[in-house]
Amino acid sequence: MTLQGKNALVTGGSRGIGRACAESLAAEGAHITVVDVLACDETVDAISAAGGTARQMHCDVSDEDSVLAVFEKHFAGSCQLDVLVHCAGVIHERALLDTPIGEFDRVIAINLRGTFLVGREALRCMSKTGSGCVILTASDMAYCGRETFSPYVASKHGVMGLVRSWAIEFAPSINVNALCPGPIDTVMLDAENMSPEWREKEMNIPLQRFGRPEEIAHMVTFLCGEGGAYITGQGIGVNGGSVMA
């Protein structure tokens, strides 16, 4: 197990990509702290049933006090945090002219402000121990525009800006990368709730299917292991060919 005894923090871990990443890291021997605005009982129970160790804590990543509370409770003493996988986020589809400022603010607060807050505190811990791996979640849309998704696209472009800046600032001891998933079969990307235009675009990819959360998790464990040792500052597309950057 490549992460035996390591400590990993996974946000957005109640379901979907976050849950898959938490379970995959635990299977590699990591001790998991999983946080979400939703209860993570199922994730923690699944990890425990498989012989791993996990704990959970409620956290609104867009709220600084909530983020600080997680780090104060779980990492303030030793600051021993080896891996951050930040998956918390929301998606938004609406024509620009129909988008109220409150919805724009919400998307940016969760997807970009939340990434900044969690990443800042994780890097504060890792910089004290001199090692670590940070994996943020961007999107295939971070490389292109998409009509009716401008707040979401802007937030994910911003995440890539953080990745590239932090990768330089904290090299060579800490690796910072982003995953750029394409359409993944999760509750957040529920085909039943997608507009016909959105659904058509998402299926118009070379592999002609939605990805699975486990396929994202496999890349996460790769980046956290020896295979990812020389990778930093990158946005890695796990997207079925939806974007070829």
**Catalytic residue numbers, as ranges:** 152
User: Which two structure tokens, joined as six digits, stand for 199?
Assistant: 């659904």
Name the residue type at position 227: G
The Cα 202–Cα 213 span in angstroms is 16
User: Which two structure tokens, joined as six digits, stand for 41?
Assistant: 């009982």
Strand order in the sheet with 31-36: 53-58, 31-36, 7-11, 83-86, 132-137, 174-181, 235-238
Closest CA to 120 of 232, 9, 13: 9
- Cβ neighbours for 187, distance < 8 A, ≥ 6 positions apart: 15, 16
Q: Is 27 left (phi over 0), alpha (psi -120 to 50) or beta?
A: alpha
